[in-house]
Amino acid sequence: MKKFTLALIALLSMTCMVYAQQYVSTEPANRNVILEEFTGRGCGYCTDGHRIANQIMASNPGRVWAINIHAGGYAQTSYPNMITTDGNTIHGGFSISGYPTGVVNRTTAAGIDRGQWNGQATTQMNQASECNVAGIARINPETRIATITVEVYYTGNSSYDENFLTVAMLQDSILGSQSDYGNYNPTQWLNGQYVHMHILRDVISTSAWGDALSPTTAGTLITKTYEYQIPDVIGSPNGVDVVLDHIFFLAWVSERTQGQATRPILTACELEKTTLTDEPIYPALGNVSQVVAASCSLDKTFTFNVSNIGTETLTSLKFNAEVAGETYEFEWDGELVSGDKTNMSFTMAIPFGTHTGTLNIYEANGETYEGSTAFTAESLEWAEVSAEGETTDIKVYIVQDQFGEQITWDIINSAGEVVASGGPYQHLIGAGSTQVNVGNVNGIATNECYLFRIYDSNHNGICCNYGNGYYYIKDNDGNRFIEGDGNYGDEDARLFTIHKHGDGMNEMDAMGFNVYPNPANNKIYVDGEGVGAVEVYNSLGQKVITVEGTDNTVVDVTSFENGIYVVRVITNEGAVSTKKVTIAH
């Protein structure tokens, strides 16, 4: 069992949120955008509107939010009925002549065509906003009560003495039917059902058009608090369950009442969402994610967040992480007040392959506690390339299938920097066509680890129904050191390291260790000061032996099968280095 101190890293903040007053920024900013899309399950062209809105949001993360409002003649009351009273009210505030249609920051009194949404959103984002808005929604999962705090700070003077604040609840991942005339949005179909996203479920403000704000002059801070009982089901008849994990909250400020609607919208924000309970001690684990990096080592870093959803301040936590039969211990000391969250990280050795791990909290504030979450850990084997000089050249060969426009690739170094990229490629005429594309990567640094990644935007790789595609990479001498077939779905990844001749094959020489012979027959020797332990892993990533370290460690490999093994040297201070060794009896 190994023990480490848990690293505390910076608290993640949302794009639209800077902690100035309590939540809202006091710095002038441009407008964020609300795109209200009027849609319905009976509308066959509305899936194209969904696709366009998704693209606008993806291109402007933290700046644009789409709200799908099911209202009008194409909205259906069969399950899942996503029609709401507030949605009907908002729909009635605008002149709607067709579907899908939408309003962008409510800058028009009539809905505009989906082809105009992106241009209007860009125009809005380039304009200065008179105010900023931000806040937090704290949810008690036992009572389903959300306590919502929203702050509005005026960085300039509004043109009107009274503005309006609207807070709305949206829901993702509602499965149901959907007309779709042209398969416009294939990524939202799942096993024959459509995955409805960012659906308006309720407006929490007193009115669908928002609550009045004043004064609206520069330097004014206005705070609004709402206590909202989240319903179990919304919609009648054939209502839809409100799933707490799938809801989120938006807030926006609109300028004045024009006709029925309050418009235009000055700016908007997604509220931070956290969970609170009545329990005194309640640390909640978020998702554990492996850091994507070029790492030619078994040591991998993982990040996760901890939310304090109890009533007391958290001052200490004890964790362990279990992967592939190994358990690592971690501790954290600090101060995490009720309602706050922070990100943490840990590093542990992961055998080759893909594994399911478990992160467990077993002590909080010195008291026994039980909390856990599963995560995926992966360790890729790496290819080794030797080259002359400080830099070298490699060539990436992509044998594309017919749909070359779906293929892209990149190479990142150990710092996460993209050092080369390629694609997309041309669409080929003729079913099953293939074509070779060559990417010349010149001047790539030696003595560095790299991660090659290839993607397919249609999630089906580069084979097999549309051409037998594949890929490979050659070194400067023309040797093929990486190759893969095209049957990889979304993406594939391969590790490789390039060593300069005479500089050794890894970091062990720099750390003062000598691992020999290579290839080995019956024994492997590890010489050097401060060796705490030596571990050997086989090609499947399984640990086959651990030997206590000395200044002259001897590992008996007589019984090992022939093949490539990874020797992992751990110093008394916890530093780790690895080297591949071939065993040949």
Give residue 540's pLDDT. 67
* CATH assignment of the domain containing 447: 2.60.40
Are residues 375 and 391 located together in one domain of the fold? no
pLDDT tens for each residue of the chain, 585 residues long: 333 333 333 222 223 333 346 899 999 999 999 999 999 999 999 999 999 999 999 999 999 999 999 999 999 999 999 999 999 999 999 999 999 999 999 999 999 999 999 999 999 999 999 999 999 999 998 899 999 999 999 999 999 999 999 999 999 999 999 999 988 999 899 888 999 999 999 999 999 999 999 999 999 999 999 999 999 999 999 999 999 999 999 999 999 999 999 999 999 999 999 888 888 999 989 889 999 889 888 889 999 999 898 999 999 999 999 998 889 999 999 999 988 889 999 988 888 889 999 999 999 999 999 999 999 999 988 888 888 889 999 999 999 999 999 999 999 998 889 999 999 999 998 888 999 999 999 999 998 999 999 998 877 899 887 899 999 999 999 999 999 998 988 899 999 989 876 554 455 555 678 888 888 888 999 988 889 899 998 876 678 899 999 888 999 999 998 888 888 888 888 777 788 888 887
The answer to whether the CB of 303 falls within 8 A of the CB of 288 is yes
Q: Are residues 198 and 86 in the same domain?
A: yes
Using a 10 angstrom Cβ sphere, with 0-12 exposed, 13-18 middle and 19 or more buried, the burial of residue 186 is exposed
User: What pLDDT does residue 85 have?
Assistant: 97
Is 315 contained in some domain? Answer: yes
Beta bridge partners of 112: 102
Question: Are 187 and 284 found together in one domain?
Answer: no
CATH number, residue 217 = 2.60.40.10
Is 145 found in the same domain as 43?
A: yes
Q: How many helices (H) and strands (E) does the chain have?
A: 3, 43
Where is the domain boundary, 379, 398, 423?
379
Quick check: is 479 in a domain?
yes
For residue 509, tell me if it sits in a domain.
no
Considering the domain architecture, whether residues 215 and 85 belong to the same structural domain is answered as yes
Q: Tell me which residue of 530, 524, 579, 531 sits closest to 557, measured CA to CA.
A: 524
Domain that holds residue 297: 277-379
Identify the residue whose tokens are 């609840």. 169
d(CA 543, CA 213): 64
Strand partners, 473: 396, 482
- Residue 75 and residue 174 in one domain: yes
The helix or strand, by DSSP H or E, that contains position 42, with its residue range, turns out to be none
Report the pLDDT value the prediction gives residue 507, as an integer from 0 to 100.
Answer: 54
CA contacts within 13 A on the Cβ side of 528? 21
* Cβ(196)–Cβ(176) below 8 Å: yes
Q: For residue 529, what is the domain's CATH number?
A: 2.60.40.1220
Are both 331 and 362 inside the same structural domain?
A: yes
Does 336 share its domain with 238? no
Residue 480 in any domain: the answer is yes
Phi–psi pair at 188, nearest 5 degrees? -100, 10
Give the C-alpha separation, 145 to 169, whole Å.
13
Residue where a domain stops, chosen among 379, 396, 431: 379
Same domain membership, residue 161 and residue 121:
yes
Does residue 17 fall inside a structural domain?
no
Q: What is the pLDDT of residues 298-347, one digit of tens each?
A: 889 999 999 898 999 999 999 999 998 889 999 999 999 988 889 999 98
Torsions phi, psi of 404, nearest 5?
A: -65, -25
Q: What is the pLDDT of residues 362-385, one digit of tens each?
A: 999 999 999 999 999 999 888 888
Q: Which residues contact 109 (CB under 8 A, 6 or more apart)?
A: 94, 95, 258, 259, 261, 263
Indicate whether 348 and 415 sit together in one domain: no
Q: How far apart are CA 1 and CA 369, in angstroms?
A: 20
What's the CA gap between 79 and 177, in Å, rounded? 8
Residue at 26 is within a domain? no
The pair of structure tokens assigned to 571 is: 């110093």
364's enclosing H/E stretch is strand 353-364
With respect to residue 10, please indicate whether it lies within any of the assigned structural domains: no
Measured CA distances, 63 to 21, 115, 126, 300 (Å) = 21, 19, 11, 33
What global pTM score does this model have? 0.60
Amino acid found at 333:
D
Task: State the Cα torsion 92-98-100-104 to the nearest 10°.
Answer: -60
Domain assignment present for 334? yes
| pLDDT score of 22 | 83
Same domain? For 414 and 555 the reply is no
Q: Which of 379, 411, 428 represents a domain boundary (last residue)?
A: 379
Percent of the chain with pLDDT over 70: 94
Count of domains forming the chain: 4
Please check whether residues 190 and 235 belong to one and the same domain.
yes
